[in-house]
Structure 1
Amino acid sequence: MTKKNMSNLRGIETFVRAVEGGSIAAAARQLGISAAAASQNLGRLEKELGTRLLTRTTRSQALTAAGEVYFAHVSPLLDGLAYAKSELSALQDAVQGRLKLSCSVAFGRHVVAPLIPAFLARYPQVNLEMLMVDRSVDHVKEEVDASIRYRDVLEPGLVARRIGTSPILLCAAPGYLQQHGRPTTPEDLAAHSCLTFRRPLDGRVVQWPFLRDGMRFAPTLRIATVCNDIDTLAALAVASAGVTRLSTFIANPLIEAGLLEPLFLAADGPVQTLADPEPLEYFVCFRDRKHLPGPVRAFVDFIAEALKDHPLLQAPVWPAPA
């Protein structure tokens, strides 16, 4: 490839990344160059083409009519180049390159992070970045290759592969139950201190739904504490502050340690007339099924296999209270 062609390719890549990321600065970050170098790449490309592709001010940018046409043609070409590189790596049995992964804080901390050393040991040439946030993530603007989400926050335009389900448990500390008694029906929760979760994504306080005789209902709760961090709620429950609602990947280790007791469970599993009907279903999401880079493909397959029969995603067997 000639020096001129290489320069054009750098300019095209800068242009496409600037459009996808919303700014030249975003393109520069993704390409690992300075904003000034990215601006020069784009300027040389526009000079070569003899037309302006982007209108730029200090605060915004927008595609020109020529830019819209050019972007529609060259963006698939860059995707094709990335895919070709990924396919060559696969043929050489070498998964390598960047992988930026996004996940909710609690699921990332308790489930995903302990699995990462095994993934990196299998694929040592992958450069991993983990983004742990309890909010909606933009794959394009934040340069995220794959995200792990539960069903409520799936987005149109992303490919989603189901990787696991976490049952939901209501729990309290033995000390709290000794002092305040054990609730035996959902209606009993109105007389207990309930520790509830406010979703950072939309600010809603999460309800505690139950299923009885095929009907879903949410009982009245006496809310003692609201918090937007599920680990803090678990810590409050361990400290005998009240009853809380936890995913098994947080509750199970605390139950096994004797720090919490699950409620509404019988010896053979959840009591069907009191079972929470909506466990959290988790999916790994990515942008393009056809042009999947090697590191993304490897991670998707790895995490789906690792979460099969994962002990933190199983409801505990608990003796029925006397």
Structure 2
Amino acid sequence: MRKQRRRRSRALVGIVAAATALGVAGCDVVGGSSGSADGGRTRASRAVQLWDRSPASIAAVGDSITRGFDACTVLSDCPEVSWATGTSEQVESLAVRLLGRARAADRSWNYAQTGARMADLSGQLADAVVRRPELVTVMVGSNDACRSSVRAMTSVANFRSQFEEALGTLRKALPKTQVYVASVPNLKRLWSEGRTNPLGKQIWKLGICPSMLGDADDLTSAATLRRDRVQQRVEDYNKVLAEVCAKDRRCRFDGGAVYQYRFGTEQLSHWDWFHPSTDGQSKLAAIAYRTVTAEGPVD
């Protein structure tokens, strides 16, 4: 009888242990309780594991900012000072910071195009995937707001669908490639800073961002309303970038860091007082590096 009781006792202990193990396994399957601190740490750990903070190759897509437009000579690209892939010692680009100068020259590629809008991103990414980069940097949206008029700006709905399509193009070819997305700069601040320079305002008349920079000294209510509408569209674009990126486990948005950066005259091109100077490119590189190497996503 004692042996039978001992056997029953051991069996009961085994059943309880098995039930406990199944209960724990069940929590893992569904991700744990939404209010569980342990569950939160587990999800955060998985998110960190998905992100490689030291990718071995980089491709850049986007617009004139990533091409280093007007940073070296007037109305010309200067990719050697690009914040993303440039080799200039004055900038210390994201590629140089992550890969080292020698490897950056061989393992980074710049597919950005001056004048590009969000609608052009899918094509750039289609070209970039041939290199099979481990990280793609995206900075685009300024030209969607910088149009001939407020009415001509890319709609928020189209901006969203075009960005989703572009990321889809990348994911079909390279499901594990990481994406860094920079926010659209604060165009109204660039107008505010640049309009203090007479030469810059003359260059603006050649057609640089007329929706924001046109009639630069006009401070009437109509002109102010026009600039405010452009600014609101930029903020809407940044919301789209954040939301779409958040749905992709291997995408990091800069949390609005580029938009919030207060470009001063030293960070603006002394050719057009609107695009980033070499110093401005260096600041963009630093923002990107902080985001890419952070332990977790930037809020």
Fold shared by both chains (TM-score > 0.5):
no
Structure 1 or 2: more helix by fraction = 2
Q: TM-score if structure 2 supplies the norm length?
A: 0.34
Q: TM-score if structure 1 supplies the norm length?
A: 0.32
